[in-house]
Structure 1
Amino acid sequence: MESILTINNLTKKFGYLTAVKDLSFTIKKGNVYGILGPNGSGKSTTLGIVLNVVNKTHGDFKWFDGTVSTHDALKKVGAIIERPNFYPYMTAAQNLKLVCKIKGVSYSKIEEKLAVVGLEDRKNHKFNTYSLGMKQRLAIASALLNDPEILILDEPTNGLDPQGIHQIREIIKDIAASGTTILLASHLLDEVEKVCSHVVVLRKGEKLYAGRVDEMISSHGFFELKADKQEDLIQLLESNTTFKNIKVENGLITAFLNEPMDASDFNKLMFEKGIILSHLVKRKESLEEQFLQLTDNLN
């Protein structure tokens, strides 16, 4: 599969602060990548470097297998890395015409891209009458005018209400389904889990994980447990190598599995050990639980 962007040992320092540290990952064509991490983890800095708006300290990156210069490569990129910045008293269509002139793109693209983001019926309305969600959707339409091979979005749902968040996520899925590669930075685990096929997890500028989202959350899951003999149950779990991590919160025991085990087999084992369970639920680990385990290991 063709590489869209390859980052090798990228580092960025701001004085004594290292914002990005020895970061490496590759973005392949046709996937949706999420750079996931809390605020200050280096997400926006990484995007700024590959978009040539932030200078790297060392390391390198190359677009499209290094076959074109960064300047030419960026003509094939659509990006929104700051709040949408349009003329408030001009209509959506008038604002997009200006963008078409700057990018050297035909005006015929305007209707097409407004349709993608669901704003055709509001094209003749002034930008200052738009809600925050509509402004963000117009920004996405603007970034798509040059039919980019990759669309880069920095915190695309920041500040939006639940309806706006849902609309943006559905638009991202539709754009990806049309074959456009997408790279988005987010601190929202839920966003990455719902929208992305691949994830790069950052913490304080360092990569903790890079790979498929489904592989990250394809653990053996965990049991939620309660029993009358709670202390006996905890001791039994801690001495059993089938479990890698035991947590107790508000009387509920969470036991993470190291290997596959059915709830029925576990219930039988506990019964044989003289422990009667009053609560037994098997669950799959969410991206959030995986993320917390990753970051807990570094504390």
Structure 2
Amino acid sequence: METILQINNLTKKFGNLTAVNDLSFTIKKGNVYGILGPNGSGKSTTLGITLNVVNKTSGDFKWFDGSVSTHEALKKVGAIIERPNFYPYMSAYKNLKLVCKIKGIDYSKIDEKLEVVGLLERKHSKFKTYSLGMKQRLAIASALLNDPEILILDEPTNGLDPQGIHQIRAIIRHIASQGTTILLASHLLDEVEKVCSHVVVLRKGEKLYSGRVDEMISSNGFFELKCDDEEKLLQYLEQHTSIEKTIKKEGLITAFLNAPLSASAFNKELVEKGIYISHLVMRKESLEEQFLQLTDNK
């Protein structure tokens, strides 16, 4: 699979603050990547470096296998890393016409991209009449005008209402289904879980995880248990070969699995050992639980 972007040991320091620390990951063609982390984790700085708007301290990055210069590569990149900035008294169509003129793009692309983001019927409305969600969708249309190989979005749903968030996510999924690679930065676990195929988890500029979203949440799951004889249950769990670890909190025992084990088979085992459970629920770990485990251990 073709490499779109490769980041190698990237570091960025602002005085004594290390915003990005020895970061490495690879973006392959045709996937939706999420850079996930809380505010201040280095997401926007990383994107800024790859787009040549922030200078790196050390390390390097290569666009498209390093076969072209960054300047040439960026002609094949669409990016929104700041709030949409259009002329308020001009229509959406005229604003995009101006973008086409600056970038040397044929005007015929305008209607095509406005249709992708659901704004074709409002193309003659002034930008100032648009809602925040519509402004964000127009920015995506603008970033798509050059038919980029990769679309980069920094917190694309920030500040939007639920309907606006739903529309942006649907547009991202549609764009990805057409074969465009997408890289988005987000602090929203829900966003990454619903939209992305791959995730890079950052905390204080350091990579905690990089890989497929489904692999990150493909653990064997865990049991939530309640029992009158907690000591007997805990002793049994500690020596069980399929239980990786147990946590006791507020009368609930959580047993994390390191191998497949059905709830019915597990309950049968416990009864045979004279351990009677008043509550047994099997769950899969969500991305949120995985994320919290990653960040708690650092």
Range of TM-score over shorter length: over 0.9
Q: Which residue of 1 aligns with 2:78?
A: 78
Q: How does 1:166-205 map to 2 (within 5 A)?
A: 166-205=166-205
Moved more, 275-284 or 120-129: 275-284
**For 2:90 and 2:251, how far apart are their aligned partners in 1?**
59
Q: Which residue of 1 aligns with 2:147?
A: 147
Q: Which residue of 2 aligns with 1:117?
A: 117
**For 2:118 and 2:231, how far apart are their aligned partners in 1?**
57
Q: How does 1:282-293 map to 2 (within 5 A)?
A: 282-293=282-293
How far residue 274 of structure 1 moved from its aligned partner, in angstroms, is: 1.6
Q: Which residue of 2 aligns with 1:24?
A: 24
Q: Which amino acid aligns with 2:76?
A: K
Q: Which residue of 2 aligns with 1:234?
A: 234
How far residue 249 of structure 1 moved from its aligned partner, in angstroms, is: 3.7
Q: Which residue of 2 aligns with 1:108?
A: 108
Q: Which residue of 1 aligns with 2:297?
A: 297
**For 1:55 and 1:145, how far apart are their aligned partners in 2?**
27
Q: Which amino acid aligns with 2:189?
A: L
**For 1:235 and 1:166, how far apart are their aligned partners in 2?**
47
TM-score normalised by structure 1 residue count: 0.97
Q: Which residue of 2 aligns with 1:66?
A: 66
**Deviation digits for residues 163-196 of structure 1 (CA, Å, limit 9, x no counterpart):** 1111111100000000000000011111111111
Q: Which amino acid aligns with 1:282?
A: M
**Deviation digits for residues 214-254 of structure 1 (CA, Å, limit 9, x no counterpart):** 11111111112222223432343234342223233443322
Poorly superposed stretches of 4+, deviation over 6 Å: none
- Computed over aligned residues only, the root mean square deviation of the Cα atoms, in angstroms, reads 1.2
Q: How many residues are aligned here?
A: 298
TM-score normalised by structure 2 residue count: 0.97
**For 2:27 and 2:223, how far apart are their aligned partners in 1?**
35
Q: Which amino acid aligns with 2:258?
A: N
Percent identity at matched positions?
A: 82
**For 2:24 and 2:264, how far apart are their aligned partners in 1?**
43
Gaps of 5+ in 2: none
How far residue 260 of structure 1 moved from its aligned partner, in angstroms, is: 1.3
* 2:241 is aligned with 1:259: no
**For 2:169 and 2:232, how far apart are their aligned partners in 1?**
46
Q: Which amino acid aligns with 1:95?
A: N
How far residue 276 of structure 1 moved from its aligned partner, in angstroms, is: 1.4
**For 2:189 and 2:245, how far apart are their aligned partners in 1?**
21
* 2:46 is aligned with 1:46: yes
